[in-house]
A and B are shown apart, each in its own frame.
Chain A
Amino acid sequence: MNKIKLIIDNKEVSVPQGTTILKAAREIGIDIPTLCHFELAGMNIHNKPGGCRICVVEVEGRRNLAPACVTECTEGMVVRTNSIRVLNSRRTVLELILSDHPADCLVCAKSGNCELQSLATRFGVREIPFQGEQSSYKVEVSPSIVRDMNKCVMCRRCETVCNDFQTVGALSAIERGFPAVVSTAFNQKLSYSSCTFCGQCVAVCPVGALVEVDHTPKIIRAIADEKKTVVVQVAPAVRVALGEEFGMKPGAIVTGKLTAALKALGFNYVFDTDWSADLTIMEEGTELIGRLTRHLKGDKDVKLPLLTSCCPAWVNFFEFHFPELKEIPSTAKSPQQMFGAIAKSYFANKIGVKREDMIVVSVMPCLAKKYECGRDEFKVNGNPDVDYSISTRELATLIKQANIDFNSLEEVPFDSPLGESTGAAVIFGTTGGVIEAACRTAYEVITKKQLPKIDFTELRGLEGVRSATIDVDGLKLNIGIAHGLSNARKLLNEIKEGKSQFHAIEVMACPGGCIDGGGQPLHHGNSDIIKARWEAIYKADQNMPIRKSHENVSVQTIYKEFLGEPCGHKSHELLHTHYFDKAKVIEIKLD
């Protein structure tokens, strides 16, 4: 590739053709500030509208200032990133943005984690010289996401992830001029839009315009209520990310401290969603084997490929965009909902607590889980199987306000019986994990032989769409994997066109799967963090003494004691669900 030489702040630098000034400067240690610019390397997320104009630099011979984020280097270019002209303009632009931004940092969910606040600190802004009209939009609270567009800086990151990465199309810019803002079609509430509540918009929002619905006060109240038995479950991806909130290195596995913290917070029972992930494999795996067997016997009506159904944003996506395919996904509930259903039946009975007196809380890397646990089909007489779902970030806030020194906690194990799990469950936390766990079990159930090698490395990776053929003792099982709904859309279109060669497809809505869910600690575009969490997931799997779901003793016990057999009558009642045609229930409501 052609190399280009240029001078930035009197330093010579040589970069490949096509490199932006921003990247070239960062290579020689010059950190030009940015706001709208956002990239998640390796995940195909690029937001470069060149709109905020914070990154402007002076280029010799150019009439006006150039946005460093989108201006490509040219041979012999002379760039100044800190001349008085640049500093004055950059500061003025920042002051302008601040002049249309509420100064309520003290009570903003993003305080301390806000990129605009960081810029104001970095520039030493002491006052905002511009006074004038400020945007005033109604704050919208949806089941998962709070939208306060008064804080929107029009960086368009949310629009990019929602449209390009997720192809959901719920958010886009409306209006023009000063009132221009990102919103839904017809300015509808998110709940009436095509939003899947994946929360990726929240994960990339640089300010407090998009944040999660905060359930922490409800949790504190529930724990304080002596009449209630409060049960908590923790999703696999939480344990490889929570440490970041307490200054630990990305990828630190904090399972033992996490359980200790939850006990310290006062939860009566600290259980693991990994347990119900193993249960999910029993159900979903059995369903897959069932469909495959019928398929091999020549049954033309059998629905293949089987699509996983753990990810609630994915479920929302196909219900809205591909309702005609709603018979294809596995009917198995997600691990969160399986856990809730079991906790409020089997476990509640076991400890002699009435359903109404039990509160089930889930800690999830996800915001769509908040929506999922509120779905009507997951309620019994109006009482939800899972009462509240909080994100990894909310849990960190809870721990901090309860004066718990997370780093010095003694590690403790999960409670029994819904706390035992296998390595197969941990890997649910990343893309390819669910299907690998299913393969581990399906192989041994179908062949009745022991797996020669537990690790299906061919199913692992962070490419958006992956495929592999698994040899199940002569039976060639074609597996497809997608993360990011744009990638899922490709595979779904193949199915619609009758071109899909897969027997089973795993889909996760978020980049990398749950490890970068909408509820995880913010990475601010640093994909190394996601990679570290990804590695940690497989390390956690390696560390487990049992690594196949069907070998989970506690799961085996529940089948013996309560459920009977996988996909049996009781299982169908408690652990399976059905899907809706949401394209038809979208309403135009002006509110």
Chain B
Amino acid sequence: MENKKKQLRIALRNCGVINPENIEEYIARNGYAALASVLETNNPQVTIEAIKKSGLRGRGGGGFPTGLKWEIASKNHADQKYVVCNADEGDPGAFMDRSILEGDPHSVLEAMAINGFCIGATKGLIYIRAEYPLAIERLLIALKQAEEAGVLGKNIFGTGFDFEIELRYGAGAFVCGEETALIHSMEGERGEPTFKPPFPAQEGYLKKPTNVNNVETFANIPVIILKGWEWFASIGTEKSKGTKVFALAGKINKVGLIEVPMGITLREVIYEIGDGIKDGKKFKAVQTGGPSGGCLTEKFLDTPIDYDNLIAAGSMMGSGGMIVMDEDDCMVSVAKFYLDFTVEESCGKCSPCRIGNKRLYELLHKITEGKGSMDDIDQLKNLSRVIKDTALCGLGQTSPNPVLSTIENFWSEYIAHVVDKKCPAGQCKALKSYVIDPDLCIGCTACARACPVGAIKGEKKIPHEINQNTCIKCGACIEKCKFNAISIK
């Protein structure tokens, strides 16, 4: 994104700057210097300690301390260990990881090798969705060049350290971003999560200790090594260090990928980087954390963005989706949209996620159809809590977040739907009615001719009327009317 104001590029440092298909350009910008330094130091514990002290947390959404994850994997002894890069980015509208892989593939490869050296792994795997052909192509080019340059493969930098990386293609299942599901998918099994423990650091790919990190997490590693953990730890808030890449989207003037320091406020992101709400409309909410996140309202605009604050506000960091909504967005429909996604993407293994999310969706649908009752809202709340409390993996445990956060923050909209049978944002078709103002209608018949279902009746030159039972609320009449006689009620 052009607007560099307030932005700080660490993970995206090379994106758009270098030619990703030329390793020399990466090397020219200190590429593989971090790996060289780690191998030269020849003390994995020192590097792990540096990552721990840097305060880097998993950028895939969970926010688990990266250094600690490495340390656990390093302490589990086995004849073979694996480093896995999770590039199964699946949040709707999010493309942080894809951009890094397309723009700076070597940063990830270098970090994986560093990780391999630290935990004692000689094999790395990148689990990438097959729908990212350009990222795959660039990774393959990068792998070839890195091997030719001797920064990957056998005896790297002559130190005796071997590290090779392979790609594994995912078929685009959202749940395969969950690390155990990802591992099962790589093993050729059905992509569904299993109960943890055992954690991948204990029993991962092919039952061997495995460290799984997300693309963006890896992209931060070389910089931390080169600039020192103190530098990295100086950026951000107390418990969330460094930067975060967000895919800014929705009703905002400037959409796109941004990288901002932790601790920045939503107001700064939306109004300064994003240049405010489109068409001068009123801000309503911002959805963070992808389908499992929540909707935050105006009262959170000045909250510093970090892992813990977002969770406290009822949402989450997630992998970096950030969708801005304005006054025209119906929040019940927004919740329904996200539930539609999780219903589709649930693996179906545990009952709360498989059936519970479906029932949540059906309840929301009922409400947007104007058929909901207060009991349905109670049921939504109870069911959401139970799913969060009982689902097997992160997908199920967070899938009710959009429901709970919209109920919490937009209670009046729910009430309007079920009690007044109105959609305040005018989005829910079933709750809309098109009405002709007899004072403005001159009986030109244009609307009646445009109506595809013959719902508009009236004599020429006499005000027309819309039969509400027949009307399908397509809006064709309103477009044809030259006298502004038709309005939505």
Contact = CB atoms under 8 A, between A and B. Distances in A.
A179 B348 contact: yes
A176 B173 contact: yes
Interface in B184-229: 190, 192, 194-195, 197
Interface string B386-410: 1011111000010000000000000
Nearest to A92: B386
A99 B355 CA distance: 8
B346 interface: yes
A202 interface: no
Contacts of A64: 388-391, 397
Interface string A160-187: 0000000000001101111111000000
Nearest to B358: A178
B362 A154 contact: no
Contacts of B359: 96, 99, 130, 132
A64 B175 CA distance: 19
B345 interface: yes
Interface string B96-109: 00000000000000
A131 B397 CA distance: 22
Interface stretch (A44-52, A256-264, A574-582): A44-52
B348 A173 contact: yes
B428 to A, nearest CB: 19
Contact of B356 (A51, A52, A96, A154): A96
B351 interface: yes
A447 interface: no
Interface string A52-74: 11101000000011010011100
Given A130-B359, A132-B358, A178 B388 contact: no
Nearest to A54: B351
A133 B343 CA distance: 13
Contacts of B195: 50, 67, 70-71
Contacts of B197: 72
A297 B424 CA distance: 95
Interface in A444-477: none
A460 B175 CA distance: 47
Interface in A524-542: none
Given A52-B351, A53-B352, A176-B346, A93 B390 contact: yes
B382 A92 contact: yes
A92 to B, nearest CB: 4
A180 B354 contact: yes
A577 B207 CA distance: 45
Interface in A141-199: 153-154, 172-173, 175-181
A1 to B, nearest CB: 18
A88 interface: yes
A172 B191 CA distance: 12
Contact of B362 (A53, A54, A132, A180): A132
Contacts of A132: 358-359, 362
A92 B358 contact: no
Query: Main SS of chain A's interface residues?
Result: loop
B379 interface: yes
Contact of A154 (B354, B386, B389): B354
Given A99-B355, A177-B344, A178-B355, A51 B389 contact: no
Interface in B332-358: 343-352, 354-358
B362 A133 contact: yes
Contacts of A92: 356, 382-383, 386
B306 to A, nearest CB: 19
Given A72-B197, A129-B379, A176-B346, A50 B392 contact: yes
Contacts of B397: 64
A49 B343 contact: no
A591 B27 CA distance: 58
A177 B354 contact: yes
Nearest to A50: B195
B349 A51 contact: yes
Which one of A56, A89, A153 has the highest number of Cβ atoms from chain B below 10 Å of its Cβ? A89
Given A64-B389, A88-B382, A132-B359, A97 B173 contact: no
Nearest to B383: A92
A180 B343 contact: no
B390 to A, nearest CB: 5
B355 A53 contact: no
Query: Main SS of chain B's interface residues?
Result: helix
A97 B351 contact: yes
A71 B343 CA distance: 26
A99 B390 CA distance: 17
A244 interface: no
Which one of A88, A93, A97, A154 has the highest number of Cβ atoms from chain B below 10 Å of its Cβ? A93
A100 B355 contact: yes
Contacts of B346: 176-178, 180
A364 to B, nearest CB: 34
A85 interface: yes
B358 A51 contact: no
Contact of B348 (A53, A96, A178): A178
A96 B355 contact: yes
Contacts of A173: 190, 192, 348-349
A177 B389 contact: no
A241 B347 CA distance: 39
A480 B352 CA distance: 46
Contact of B351 (A53, A70, A179): A53
A325 to B, nearest CB: 27
A65 B379 CA distance: 20
Interface in B93-139: none
B352 A96 contact: yes
A178 B352 contact: no
A92 B356 CA distance: 9
A181 B190 CA distance: 12
B349 A93 contact: no
Contacts of B343: 177-178
Contacts of A89: 386, 389-390
B362 A49 contact: no
Nearest to A100: B355
A172 B354 CA distance: 17
Contacts of A56: 389-390
Interface in A100-128: 100
B129 to A, nearest CB: 15
B259 to A, nearest CB: 30
A72 B194 CA distance: 14
Which one of B197, B351, B386, B388 has the highest number of Cβ atoms from chain A below 10 Å of its Cβ? B351
Interface string B235-270: 000000000000000000000000000000000000
Interface in A73-89: 85, 88-89
A175 B357 CA distance: 16
B365 to A, nearest CB: 9
A179 B357 CA distance: 12
Contacts of B379: 129-130
A99 B356 CA distance: 10
Contacts of B347: 176-177, 180
A367 B80 CA distance: 45
A65 to B, nearest CB: 5
Nearest to B349: A51
B345 A176 contact: yes
Contacts of A71: 195
A92 B351 CA distance: 10
A175 B348 CA distance: 8
Contacts of B351: 51-54, 93, 96-97, 153-154
A172 B190 contact: yes
Contacts of B392: 50-51, 53, 67
B386 A93 contact: yes
Contacts of A50: 194-195, 350, 392
**Shortest Cβ-Cβ A-B pairs, 3 listed:** A180-B348, A132-B362, A92-B386
Given A71-B195, A93-B386, 8 more contacts: A50-B350, A52-B350, A65-B389, A92-B383, A99-B355, A175-B348, A178-B348, A178-B358
7 contacts: A51-B351, A53-B390, A53-B392, A54-B351, A65-B390, A96-B352, A180-B347
